[in-house]
């Protein structure tokens, strides 16, 4: 019968780490110690990206994976969305879309007609305090949202400032 203490299992072997188990005097000492043990050169430890290809086109098309989206309104009251992403070649990208019109859909009341759109837009703009043209456009569109595929009328309400969306939704 083998003695348990004489087992040669690799997971039970003592650690052969170069660093002592005793705590360092400071965090700066730990960083110095880590840099001494680092066998790679500083050039190898940088994250290398391929060089950006130059294009002969004035505005070449860009394909990228979206990672994040932010909404904002600039000081000039123009709505903007910012798309953060990365290209296939690993380059970070920020795309700014200026004058983006935010919109939402709202079920149209029964009997609502095309000639009711302008008076509704005027009413909504008057009810939003301090802003004269938050609602820039309203369209009547049919949307299929039921399982039978029967289209229902919806209002597509375009806003110049996304911060007023909830105020407008409460007034419709």
Report pLDDT for 148.
Answer: 86
Residues 153 and 113: beta-carbon distance below 8 Å? no
* 18-51 tens-digit pLDDT: 665 666 577 777 777 776 655 555 555 566 666 7
Q: What is the mean pLDDT of the chain?
A: 76
The residues, any chain, with a CB within 8 Å of residue 87's CB and separated by 6 or more, are: 62, 63, 64, 65, 93
- Count CA atoms within 13 Å of residue 6 on its CB side: 3
CATH 2.60.220 corresponds to the domain 102-171: no
Report pLDDT for 121.
Answer: 92
Q: Is the pTM of this model over 0.85?
A: no
4 or 59, higher pLDDT: 59
Domain limits of the chain?
62-100, 102-171
Percent of the chain with pLDDT strictly greater than 90 = 17
């Amino acid at each position: 019968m083998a003695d348990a203490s004489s087992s040669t299992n690799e997971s039970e072997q003592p650690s052969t780490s170069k660093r002592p188990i005793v705590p360092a005097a400071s965090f700066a000492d730990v960083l110095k110690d880590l840099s001494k043990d680092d066998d790679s050169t500083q050039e190898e430890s940088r994250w290398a990206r391929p060089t950006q290809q130059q294009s002969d086109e004035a505005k070449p098309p860009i394909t990228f994976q979206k990672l994040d989206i932010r909404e904002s309104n600039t000081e000039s009251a123009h709505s903007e969305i910012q798309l953060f992403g990365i290209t296939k070649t690993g380059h970070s990208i920020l795309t700014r879309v200026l004058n983006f019109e935010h919109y939402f859909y709202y079920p149209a009341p029964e009997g609502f007609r095309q000639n009711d759109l302008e008076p509704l837009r005027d009413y909504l703009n008057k009810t939003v305090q301090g802003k004269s043209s938050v609602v820039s456009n309203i369209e009547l569109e049919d949307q299929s949202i039921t399982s039978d595929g029967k289209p229902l009328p919806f209002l597509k309400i375009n806003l110049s400032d996304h911060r007023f969306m909830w105020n407008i939704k409460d007034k419709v």
